[in-house]
Amino acid sequence: MQQDQYGYFDDANKEFVITTPYTPLPWINYLGNDGFYALISNTAGGYSFYRDPKFRRLTRYRYNNVPMDSGGRYFYFNLDGDIWSASGRPVDCELDHYECRHGMGYSSFSVEKNQIASKLTSFVPLDTTGEVHRLQVTNNSDSSKELDLFSFIEWCLWNAEDDGTNFQRNLSTGEVEIESNTIFHKTEYRERRNHYAFYSVNRDIDGFDTDRNAFIGNYNGFGNPQVVKNGQSTNSHAHGWSPIASHHIKLDLAPGETASMVFVLGYVEVPEEQKWQSQGVINKKPSWDFQSKFDTDEKFEAELAKLNQYWDNLLGKITVNTPNNSMNRAMNIWNQYQNMVTFNLSRSASFYESGIGRGMGFRDSNQDTIGFTHMVPNAVKERIIDLAATQQSDGSAYHQYQPLTKKGNAAIGGNFNDDPMWLVLSTANYIKETGDVAFLDTIVPFEDTPDVQSTQFDHLTASFYHVVNNLGPHGLPLIGRADWNDCLNLNCFSTEPNESYQTTQRGESDVAESLMIAGQFVLYGNEYANLCDLTGRTEDAAKARVHINQMIATIDQHGWDGNWFIRAYDSRGLPLGSHTCDEGKIFIESQGFCLMAGIGMQDGRAEKALNAVNQHLLAEHGIVVQQPAYSDYNKYYGEITSYPPGYKENAGIFCHNNPWIVVSEAMLGRGDQAFDYFSRFTPLFRPQDMAKHRTEPYVYSQMIAGKDAAIPGEAKNSWLTGAAAWSFYAGTQYILGIAPDYQGLSINPCIPKDWDEFSVKRQFRDATYHIQVNNPNKVSKGVMKIEIDGQGIEGNTIPYNDFNGEHQVVVTMG
Ligand code: GLC
Ligand code: GLC
């Protein structure tokens, strides 16, 4: 194991081990799998919610707080006036030992001070609407110790936005009840809510507090609550203001003795007619039942074992063993794990997404599916149907939908013209993984024609023709409000600071065109045509290919700048991403999408474009969006020029699009180059950069500051990013080259030349393949021979119908 400044990977346990509470930013983990989610930092900061981080938030968290990451599930100790906390903070003091382990769906915290050792283990059990925390406290000294323990959480008054803004109301509404060892949060239960939350412990308590000021004191902070300092709770009962839950437990530990306690923070819904036990007293029965599932160490451990099993199972669907350990760690553990987090939360709740803003993005959520279809195919099918149901019959789509209502978000609207074609990607990807071609016949009405029995296939047709029906003066796709690059707003022209770039659209917008959508149309248009063929719709396929070939010709004519692909034409018909521009001469997105579509792969343009990417866009930590960065605001380009150079879409390294270049390089057969890029933007490959990078070293961030930035290499906005799914897709399907296809599993790796061999265990539909790839001639690409159970096959694809079940596959490159 390699020890670094802030922590290290423990692969055997699938954990990242953090060795100091004082990381450059809070390094978090996600707990929860089906409906109840918690964000937990390396000092137990963060919050939890049921389904919707805006409308059902259980605990309070203050974004952008000072000190950073204050507020969470805290356990305080007081031993003879010396105080510290079981998660390293918020009490700032010298500890004799601190360690946080973030694992798959759980986190643990080990702390020692004054010869008192504690271990806190936190997770959300499967099928459970709450967090459980076990605290074990051991006396490592040779004399008896009496100490006081205080738990602490602060309630959020359910609606997180209102909770942070509407103080004139909500300082009067807070209500709690206390019964035996349980504190109940029942704000607004008296009116329209039929849910409450509780915080309990499986042990008698010596006191409690439910009023924040009583517990913390008016001018103290989380680091030195008055009650903890005094060593005595006040039994406060909150009426309005800020309700909290804190238990006081007196521990008396003999030498070597351990006390073990399980705390449960639960969410409960009660049928309307059973809300009350008696006048004004809530029905607590569901809470007692809930607590009884976790009230012993044995039950706690059994639940944790179930959770571990669940994750082993999910992650075990693909296991790779390559000569590069960072690659193994990424593919086997952390990249897949992050993909599941994006499946659960899309872009809603992280330490940078406040949970009160964005819903499920049409573009983001369709793309994300390529990272987890192999793990949760049925859930992906449902997700695709939810997305398709927000599409209009003309193919256009709401840019976002709300997870609670599954309705398109009218405030944001549509007209992001790349949106429709992402539905083809997600659908084709799902069918390749599962073989479920019949999915295309599923009835999914369009949003505007609820009574028409449209099929999923009709949605793909509508997506395809939405592009065909929205072409601009050069015959290229109109960009609308924005294509993949949300900040390239070519029809906005905003000079008014209070306006949204992305939803302001002036004029007819029938001029500005996107080469990224053009490439996307060819790539996923071909996929659409393949699906037509696959289902016997040969005429539809032929008709589609006429449009695709026309688009390719148009790209050749109007999209090639001499050494790379142009990015767009603006509302005045002027090119962006051309050598004729002063700034923004070359962009990443159109290179990625035209090349992934195969344009220029045969005639030398692909080499040229990729060499230009290397020459102009490459930075130490990845490939930047464009160069040169825009130095001034330009109303014709919109938000992209609003950022200082080197940040976000203005020449930052936007990790989401880096895998597109990896895929393009792999298609061209340049395996060393593909792998070099991969290892730059993937933080798991760069543990030495933890301090500079700042965000969690085990997951992708949305952006790493580019070469024009004041501090290049600093990452921002970790966890919820399309970089996760795309990297996994590029890594498994293009570098390792193991790709599901309609007829079977295709094998076509593109690896660094110095790899002698690698192996992959891949579950695919009902088959499990143990694939050994040998590279005796040290090539990057080229498959000489594939043998399955000792028998040679033709071509690169293992035909599924002939070879389902368990198989040994040997591949020889050369
Ligand atoms: C901002 C960000 C962009 C993000 C968008 C989401 O424009 O710069 O990265 O995609 O908001 O609405
Ligand atoms: C953000 C958005 C995504 C967009 C990207 C680039 O990540 O979520 O939809 O494509 O920014 O602007």
In angstroms, the first-to-last Cα distance of the chain is 34
Which residue has a Cα nearest atom 8 of ligand 2?
364
Distance 720 CA to ligand 2 centre (A): 10
Q: Is it the case that residue 509 has pLDDT exceeding 90? A: no
With the most atoms of ligand 2 within 8 angstroms of its CB, the residue from 368, 486, 717 to mutate is 486
Which residues have any ligand 1 atom within 6 Å of their CB?
486-487, 502, 639, 648-649
Mean pLDDT, range 44-64, rounded to an integer: 96
| Ligand nearest to C-alpha 657 | 2
Quick one: pLDDT band at residue 98, thresholds 50, 70, 90? very high
Quick one: pLDDT band at residue 355, thresholds 50, 70, 90? very high
Dump pLDDT digits (tens) for 286-309.
999 999 999 999 999 999 999 999
The residue among 368 and 507 whose pLDDT is bigger is 368
Distance 779 CA to ligand 2 centre (A): 36
Q: Which one is catalytic: 209, 419, 486, 570?
A: 486
CB atoms within 10 A of CB 449: 11
With the most atoms of ligand 2 within 8 angstroms of its CB, the residue from 587, 643, 656 to mutate is 656
Cα–Cα distance measured from residue 35 to residue 49, given in angstroms and rounded to the nearest whole number:
8
Which residue has a Cα nearest atom 7 of ligand 2?
721
Dump pLDDT digits (tens) for 305-333.
999 999 999 999 999 999 999 999 999 99
Mean pLDDT, range 767-772, rounded to an integer: 98
C-alpha 355: how far from chain center: 13
Nearest ligand 2 atom, CA 722 = 7
Distance 198 CA to ligand 2 centre (A): 37
Strand order in the sheet with 783-788: 318-321, 757-764, 767-774, 806-813, 783-788, 791-793
Angle in degrees, 0-180, between the axes of helices 335-345 and 297-315, rounded to the nearest 10 = 100
List 652's β-bridge partners, or say none.
none
One-letter amino acid of 612: A
With the most atoms of ligand 2 within 8 angstroms of its CB, the residue from 346, 364, 625, 700 to mutate is 364
Distance 580 CA to ligand 2 centre (A): 27
Which residue has a Cα nearest atom 11 of ligand 2?
486
Distance 649 CA to ligand 1 centre (A): 9
Dump pLDDT digits (tens) for 423-445.
999 999 999 999 999 999 999 99
∠ CA 697-160-28, nearest 5°, is 15
What mean pLDDT, rounded, does the chain reach?
97
Phi, psi of 77 (to 5 degrees): -115, 145
Cα–Cα distance measured from residue 480 to residue 136, given in angstroms and rounded to the nearest whole number:
57
Which residue has a Cα nearest atom 6 of ligand 2?
485
Phi, psi of 298 (to 5 degrees): -65, -45
Mean pLDDT, range 252-271, rounded to an integer: 98
Quick one: pLDDT band at residue 380, thresholds 50, 70, 90? very high
By the 8 A CB rule, do 158 and 193 touch? yes
Cα–Cα distance measured from residue 505 to residue 414, given in angstroms and rounded to the nearest whole number:
11
Quick one: pLDDT band at residue 503, thresholds 50, 70, 90? confident
Q: Is it the case that residue 4 has pLDDT exceeding 80? A: no
Mean pLDDT, range 212-220, rounded to an integer: 97
Phi-psi region of 604 (alpha: psi -120 to 50; beta: other; left: phi over 0): left
Distance 357 CA to ligand 2 centre (A): 14
pTM over 0.85: yes
3-state secondary structure of 725: helix
Cα–Cα distance measured from residue 136 to residue 148, given in angstroms and rounded to the nearest whole number:
14
Strands 145-158 and 130-139: unpaired
Identify the pLDDT of residue 422: 98
Q: Is it the case that residue 276 has pLDDT exceeding 70? A: yes
Distance 594 CA to ligand 1 centre (A): 23
Strands 767-774 and 806-813: parallel
Quick one: pLDDT band at residue 271, thresholds 50, 70, 90? very high
Phi, psi of 259 (to 5 degrees): -105, 135
Nearest ligand 2 atom, CA 649 = 12
Identify the pLDDT of residue 408: 87
The residue among 654 and 507 whose pLDDT is bigger is 654
Identify the pLDDT of residue 3: 42
Quick one: pLDDT band at residue 506, thresholds 50, 70, 90? confident
148 is catalytic: no
Hey, what are 202's tokens? 């499986």
Nearest ligand 2 atom, CA 486 = 12
Nearest ligand 1 atom, CA 347 = 6
∠ CA 614-618-623, nearest 5°, is 115
Distance 487 CA to ligand 1 centre (A): 7
Mean pLDDT, range 497-504, rounded to an integer: 90
Which residue has a Cα nearest atom 10 of ligand 2?
484
∠ CA 459-460-462, nearest 5°, is 65
Dump pLDDT digits (tens) for 10-34.
999 999 999 999 999 999 999 998 8
Q: Report CA-CA distances (Å) from 512 to 176, 564, 627, 711, 731.
A: 57, 19, 20, 34, 34
Hey, what are 779's tokens? 């090539």
Ligand 2 contact via 485 beta carbon (within 6 Å):
yes
Distance 399 CA to ligand 2 centre (A): 11
Which residue has a Cα nearest atom 5 of ligand 1?
486
With the most atoms of ligand 1 within 8 angstroms of its CB, the residue from 486, 488, 702, 718 to mutate is 486
Dump pLDDT digits (tens) for 515-541.
999 999 999 999 999 999 999 999 999
Element holding 674 (H helix, E strand): helix 671-681
Hey, what are 199's tokens? 């915080």
405 burial (CB, 10 Å; 0-12 / 13-18 / 19+) is: exposed
Strands 806-813 and 74-79: unpaired
Nearest ligand 2 atom, CA 702 = 7
| Ligand nearest to C-alpha 488 | 2
Cα–Cα distance measured from residue 80 to residue 145, given in angstroms and rounded to the nearest whole number:
9
Identify the pLDDT of residue 290: 98
Q: Is it the case that residue 360 has pLDDT exceeding 90? A: no
Which residue has a Cα nearest atom 12 of ligand 1?
486
Residue with tokens 């997506």: 463
